[in-house]
Amino acid sequence: MCGIIGYIGDKPAQPILLNCLRRLEYRGYDSCGIAVAAGSIGVYKDAVRVAELAKVAPRLNGTAGIGHTRWATHGEPSQVNAHPHLDCSGKIAVVHNGVINNFQRLKRELTAEGHSFVSETDTEVISHLIEKYYDGNLEKAVEAALSDIDGSYAIIVLVAGESKLVAARKDSPLIIGVSDRENFIASDVPAILDYTNRVIYLEEGDIGVVTKDNVKIRRYGAEVVGEEHKILWSVEDAQKGGYEHFMLKEIHEQPKVIRDTLGEYISAAETEVKLAMMTEANLEGMLIVACGTSYHAALVGKYIVEELVGIPVRSELACEFTYRHQIPAGTAAIVVTQSGETADTLKAMKRLKEGGCQVVAITNVVGSTASRIADQTVYTRAGPEISVAATKSFTAQLMVLYWLALSYSRVDIRQVDNLTMGLRQLPEKVQQVLDNEDKIRQYASYLSRYENVFFISRGINYPVALEGALKLKEISYIHAEGYAAGELKHGPFALLGANTPVIAIVAQDNTYETMLTNIKEVKARGSPLMALAEEGDEAIGELADSVITVPRVDAIFSPVVNTVALQLLAYYTAQQRGCPIDFPRNLAKSVTVE
């Protein structure tokens, strides 16, 4: 999904385009660019986010321009592939959202006719096609170019010397924003709501010619009057699809993310091994390196792989990996990073490569730096994650780790069958956790009154305790510590008491009895105790002050349902405390400095 924008009016176009692009960033943000016309066309674009582009872009003069923000699903985000794309003369600039199916053939024909291409994108054929047909009538040229194209598109065309923008759509969204002495064209309404709330929706096949004072629309060759709609809603609503925050929207997307990852890697693929560099024979150990929430996924991965594959696994913090003296040569190394740009993780990758390791990257961003350094990349299909607090990307990372472990598993066929079926049930189990939201919200309003909280667990859910604490502290600003339940008595006991609630994550596995003992110890120190436990666990109900239940799943999948419950808990606690949930203080979505 990409976002496009066009502006024509009396004001300098550049700041307006950049502001609109920021509004479109939820549609994707791996690269962006703008083109502004004033006699000639100035273009500035790069594989960076809009805020960074805004900082470094030179001042482009002109009161008409176009812009684009991109989320690649195929092909690499790079400066040359970023939009806008120019023709040979540099006088025609195009931004495009969609896919052109016949671009290979068109590109060959245009190349044969003498056009020279600089990018690998399908979009570039549009600018060259328009160049081919342009004889002073831009509208006709665009129409002719589009008749050659098979595919989906929303495009905006800017031509040097023309005081108009031409827009067209087919199977991709496009609207025109109408104002006084200026007009806009955009992928969606929120992009332009800072400037106008008068909107014309373009229909399939429409071609719009927009000047600063006028909007003309051609439909099936005839001119039609575009109906103006007045938009009464605010910017935030639409992008968040009804939710108050991106974080809650993204938490709710998790059943779909799990289904998408299953579809990509598990169901049709027959759990066939796809990592060329890791073979059954050479797989003697594994190293997983990551930061933050991804590190917690790596820690869960350790338990998953050790149980299913039966090899020793080390999960390491990327920032500390620098100081390790030994790099285990020959070990399969995996790095986990949502953005693919985390500085510490990239540094660790380089060190691993220098040490002779083959590196697999698990990342959410196609073409990110991590994917370029890695020998092989496995993409999580979580889609753009806007909220600073990672939620759906964590779940998607776990799904990839389950798939990896199952691909190499050395356990009984019966267990593999059970686990495969268990994986397929996970979307529904996570949905059940979401359906239990009201219960979690009630407990959150209680928790929000405290300033210190401990999260404890054992075994595969120990990393879940860490992740639960991280989510709570980063968005609600409550001081939270995740602890191995057995470590609590080595110090933190001194902090327990009526003002320090403890949240115990209790799974039905070999940790269960010991966890009950630990809970009793905590209770004896007077801390209010909340247990996150499997439904039907009656013993817990008698011990804990409150219980949030999660649906029954195989213990190896319990981190998924437990984490989703703790994400909701952190979200509603922060909401109760009135925190700016999507953009917590002092934090950035991807940490690109060491």
- Hey, which residues are catalytic here? 2, 589
Is there binding between residue 418 and another protein (CB under 8 A)? no
What does the buried/exposed string (b/e) look like for 253-269 if buried means 16 or more CB atoms within 10 Å of the residue's CB?
bbbbbbbbbbebbbeee
Q: In the chain, how many H helices and how many E strands?
A: 19, 25
d(CA 61, CA 41): 9
- Binding another protein by CB under 8 A: which of 243, 446, 450, 583? 243
Q: What x/- string results for residues 131 through 170 when contact with another protein is judged by CB under 8 A? A: ----------------------------------------
Judged by CB under 8 A, which stretch of 67-75, 137-145, 283-291, 427-435 contacts another protein? 427-435
d(CA 90, CA 231): 37
Q: Of 301 and 383, which has the nearer Cβ to another protein? A: 383
Q: Give min distance, CB of 75 to another protein, in A.
A: 20
Judged by CB under 8 A, which stretch of 98-106, 235-243, 310-318, 372-380 contacts another protein? 235-243
Is there binding between residue 434 and another protein (CB under 8 A)? yes
Six-digit token string for 451: 């300033």
Judged by CB under 8 A, which stretch of 207-215, 249-257, 366-374, 403-411 contacts another protein? 249-257
Judged by CB under 8 A, which stretch of 71-79, 419-427, 470-478, 576-584 contacts another protein? 419-427
Q: Of 253 and 474, which has the nearer Cβ to another protein? A: 253
The β-bridge partners of 457 are 484
- Binding another protein by CB under 8 A: which of 118, 224, 421, 587? 421
Asked if 516 and 539 count as a contact pair (C-beta separation under 8 A), the reply is yes
CB neighbour list of residue 530: distance below 8 Å, 6 or more residues apart: 443, 447, 501, 502, 503, 504, 544, 545, 546, 547, 548
- Binding another protein by CB under 8 A: which of 104, 108, 180, 233? 233
- Binding another protein by CB under 8 A: which of 189, 348, 370, 505? 189
Q: What are the strands of the beta sheet with 546-550, ordered from one edge? A: 479-484, 452-457, 502-506, 529-534, 546-550
Q: Give min distance, CB of 15 to another protein, in A.
A: 26
- Binding another protein by CB under 8 A: which of 117, 201, 446, 477? 201
DSSP string over 155-184:
EEEEETT-S-EEEEEEBS--EEEE-SS-EE
Closest-CA residue to 314 (of 294, 293, 328): 328
Is there binding between residue 225 and another protein (CB under 8 A)? no
The β-bridge partners of 152 are 99
Site size toward another protein, by CB under 8 A: 39
Q: Give min distance, CB of 173 to another protein, in A.
A: 6
Q: Give min distance, CB of 522 to another protein, in A.
A: 30
- Binding another protein by CB under 8 A: which of 292, 340, 427, 463? 427
Is there binding between residue 301 and another protein (CB under 8 A)? no
Q: Give min distance, CB of 253 to another protein, in A.
A: 7
Q: Give min distance, CB of 3 to another protein, in A.
A: 11
Is there binding between residue 429 and another protein (CB under 8 A)? yes
**Which 3-state string (H, E, C) describes 420-479?**
HHHHHHHHHHHHHHHHCHHHHHHHHHHHCCCCEEEEEECHHHHHHHHHHHHHHHHHHCCE
The DSSP secondary-structure symbol of 263 reads I
Q: How many CA atoms lie within 13 A of 417 on its CB side?
A: 3
Is there binding between residue 222 and another protein (CB under 8 A)? no
Is there binding between residue 463 and another protein (CB under 8 A)? no
Judged by CB under 8 A, which stretch of 127-135, 160-168, 250-258, 272-280 contacts another protein? 250-258
Q: Give min distance, CB of 1 to another protein, in A.
A: 9
- Which residues inside 518-557 make contact with another protein, applying CB under 8 A? 551
Burial class (CB in 10 A: 0-12, 13-18, 19+), 484: middle
Is there binding between residue 593 and another protein (CB under 8 A)? no
Is there binding between residue 252 and another protein (CB under 8 A)? yes
Q: Give min distance, CB of 249 to another protein, in A.
A: 7
Q: Give min distance, CB of 251 to another protein, in A.
A: 10
Please, what is the end-to-end C-alpha distance for the chain in angstroms? 31
The β-bridge partners of 38 are 40
The β-bridge partners of 6 are 66, 185
Helix axes 138-147 and 124-133, enclosed angle (nearest 10): 120
Is there binding between residue 229 and another protein (CB under 8 A)? yes
Give the angle 466-471-474 at the CA atoms, nearest 5°.
115
Q: Of 128 and 249, which has the nearer Cβ to another protein? A: 249
Binding residues for another protein, rule: CB under 8 A, are 173, 188-189, 201, 203, 227, 229-233, 237-239, 241-243, 249, 252-253, 256, 259, 262-264, 267-268, 421, 424-425, 427-429, 431-432, 434-435, 437, 551
